[in-house]
Amino acid sequence: MFKTIEWKKDKVVLLDQTRLPEQEVYVECREVSELADCIRRLVIRGAPAIGVAAAMGIALGAGKIKTGDVRKFRSEVEKICTMLAATRPTAVNLFWSIDRMKKVVDVYAGMGIEVVKERLKKEALKIYREDIEINREMGKQGRELIRDGARILTHCNAGALATAGYGTALGVIRAAKGEGKKIEVFACETRPVLQGSRLTAWELKKSRIKVTVLTDGAAAFLMQKKMVDLVITGADRIAANGDSANKIGTYALAISAGAHGIPFYIAAPLSTIDVRIRSGKEIPIELRSGEEVTHIQGKRFVPQGIKAWNPAFDVTPAEYITAIITEKGIVKKPYLRNIQKIMKS
């Protein structure tokens, strides 16, 4: 089995997701700036995986700071955090993870720089291990929603590649399969970066889960043809009222699912819920380079002089979401109240 991200004695090793499925190559980051660049370029991507990468990046960067002065050390760590926070704006797991690492600095600063460095490493590895456990738990919680023989539509990649391992949406699918249920997955290709056809298809094939790829535009027709029983996706940020940001195209899937009476589920850890944000309107949406849309493998296929609009995510209003699967249980409407409840549990 592959490792999406791994801490290996003073370096962070990433499976290069820009090269999949043709090549399974690993990138070694020795500097936090290299890791930040990998997050920006989608070498590592997916909300929980970005969170783990940021934590490892802070531990890596802090370990390289050469000063005996605690104040100077803290200001250097702050700069590292600022650099990582600027990589991608939508997935809240990134900021959640940075905050958690900053707390470690606050708690241990009084014990000296070497102690803080050691503790940061420990915390990063803890975030990594916890992520896998959380995903497995989410799988156990969500598998009851999937009946034997279910045909499931998913979007983007919310699998082992998007997390420290196992996956969120794909974790629920894995857990259902693990119970002996027959499952068939339909993966939207996910334009423009093709996380569905390149990554989801790759990892499901490795796990021997039946998968068929379709263009994003074919999804509504698949539903109309009664070829799908439920939709499950991940999320990058969930507001207090349940509005959920996920890969561009998710909103269209949720509307189509609603129109066809098909349940639409989101699987996400509690670290993806941002209760400080009241509704989806406040979620910052990353706009990526138009080149991702105008070019395929370096070749332009849109007329010169034409611009592309390339939001990486959209927001699905809570009303279209049947339930949110978390590691602590399945959250249903009314989301405002039930999200508050689960966050306190």
Site for ligand MRU contains 47 (CB under 6 A): yes
The set of residues, in sequence order, having a beta carbon less than 8 Å from that of 282 and lying 6+ positions away, is: 239
- Hey, is 151 helix, strand or coil? strand
Least CB distance to ligand MRU at residue 245 (A): 8
Cβ distance to ligand MRU smaller for residue 105 or 327 = 327
Which residue among 69, 99, 131, 236 is the active-site one? 236
Picking from 313, 309, 333, the residue whose alpha carbon sits closest to that of residue 323 is 333
Cβ distance to ligand MRU smaller for residue 57 or 73 = 57
Cβ distance to ligand MRU smaller for residue 54 or 235 = 235
Picking from 120, 50, 109, the residue whose alpha carbon sits closest to that of residue 269 is 50
Applying CB under 6 A, which of residues 20, 91, 211, 331 lies at the interface with ligand MRU?
Answer: 91
Quote the distance between the C-alpha of residue 226 and its chain's center. Answer: 29
Cβ distance to ligand MRU smaller for residue 195 or 316 = 195
299-328 residues near ligand MRU, rule: CB under 6 A: 312
Applying CB under 6 A, which of residues 247, 314, 324, 342 lies at the interface with ligand MRU?
Answer: 247
CA distances to 146, 149, 159, 205 from 182, in Å? 10, 5, 19, 15
211-240 residues near ligand MRU, rule: CB under 6 A: 233-236
Cβ distance to ligand MRU smaller for residue 11 or 41 = 41
- Provide the mask over 183-202, with x wherever binding to ligand MRU is found by CB under 6 A and - wherever it is not: ------------x-------
Q: How many CB atoms lie within 10 A of CB 143?
A: 19
DSSP letter for each residue of 231-286? EEE--SEEETTS-EEEETTHHHHHHHHHHTT--EEEE--GGGEETT--SGGGS--P
Least CB distance to ligand MRU at residue 295 (A): 17
Element (H, E) at 211: strand 210-214
- Compute how many residues bind ligand MRU; rule: CB under 6 A: 18
- Provide the mask over 131-170, with x wherever binding to ligand MRU is found by CB under 6 A and - wherever it is not: -------------------------x-x---xx----x--
Site for ligand MRU contains 45 (CB under 6 A): yes
Cβ distance to ligand MRU smaller for residue 168 or 326 = 168
Q: Residue 163 is which amino acid?
A: T
The set of residues, in sequence order, having a beta carbon less than 8 Å from that of 146 and lying 6+ positions away, is: 152, 172, 173, 176, 181, 183, 230
Between strands 264-267 and 299-300, the pairing is unpaired
Least CB distance to ligand MRU at residue 161 (A): 9
- Does 148 qualify as catalytic in the annotation? no
Least CB distance to ligand MRU at residue 274 (A): 13
Quote the distance between the C-alpha of residue 147 and its chain's center. Answer: 25
The answer to whether the beta carbons of residues 236 and 313 sit under 8 Å apart is yes
Picking from 96, 89, 98, 91, the residue whose alpha carbon sits closest to that of residue 32 is 98
Least CB distance to ligand MRU at residue 47 (A): 4
Least CB distance to ligand MRU at residue 341 (A): 23
- Which are the catalytic amino acids? 236
Which spans of this chain sit near ligand MRU (rule: CB under 6 A)?
45-48, 91, 156, 158, 162-163, 168, 195, 233-236, 246-247, 312
